[in-house]
Amino acid sequence: MKKTLLATSALVGASLLAAPAHAGTVGSKDLMNVTLGGVFWFSAYVKDEDVSAANGRGYGFTVSESEIHIGASATADNGIKYGVNIELGAGAADNTNADEAYAFLDSDSWGRIELGDQDDATNRMQLGSWNALKGAGGSFGGLGDLNTVFGGVGGFGDGFLARSDWQVFTTSDDTKATYFSPRFSGFQIGASWTPDTGETSGGAATADADNDGDFENVLGLSANYVGKFDNVGVGVSFGWEHGSDETAAGAENEDLDIWGVGGKVDFAGFTIGAN
């Protein structure tokens, strides 16, 4: 039996509106390579609003996100890459230990399959304004969530649907199966199937009730194109999701049917995005 000691080093990056920090890769021969990284957002804010309720002192500090990312991967003799990825919530107020947890198979010839808790293909392939924004502000929320007006809705998509995330689409990190094709001539397609939007890892597949207002059998389909013409980069995307509403007794909710389009243009170090 082989015994291998893997020494890890902690990597912490902290700055105002800092980008994610990633550590290196360790491994040994036929064992899986393990990566350790994460993200830490620290912000100082000042705000002044006409609505004073819950506005507090009008300034403060916030750690809007802190996560530890762990990955393990290896490549089989036939060239197929396989592994697992787990994102752990590291904030003192995090209600769950894990954010994302999934396994994957990846091949240059037939594409990539992911199984577990991860964002839908429609979410991850969508292009738009967030491609032009960095830091903890912008269209995905961040500092905008500090607003007390407009019901506290400060970011695009927040509150738009009960299970929405910052890119409109609805299944977030619910347990699913996802496929991405290889990219041919700039084009790629993706598909996800989520049996129940109330299910995440750690529970039995039949544990969630089927009349609680979640969505079931959510099919997500997406396609995008990215290319470059001279010194101008171009990207466009389309995504669509459909699922059955698990209507509670007496409720009259419609089934899920949502779509999104977006694009971005890169030139001379600038990016313009719309969705």
pLDDT tens-place string over residues 251-261: 667 788 889 99
CB distance 112 to 105 below 8 Å: yes
Are 138 and 131 within 8 A, CB to CB?
A: no
Q: Tens digit of pLDDT for each residue in 91-127?
A: 887 776 788 999 999 999 999 999 999 999 998 999 9
What are the residue boundaries of the structural domains of the chain, listed by start?
A: 21-274
Annotation: CATH topology of 21-274: Porin (2.40.160)
pTM of the model as a whole? 0.77
The C-alpha atoms of residue 73 and residue 189 are separated, in whole angstroms, by: 24
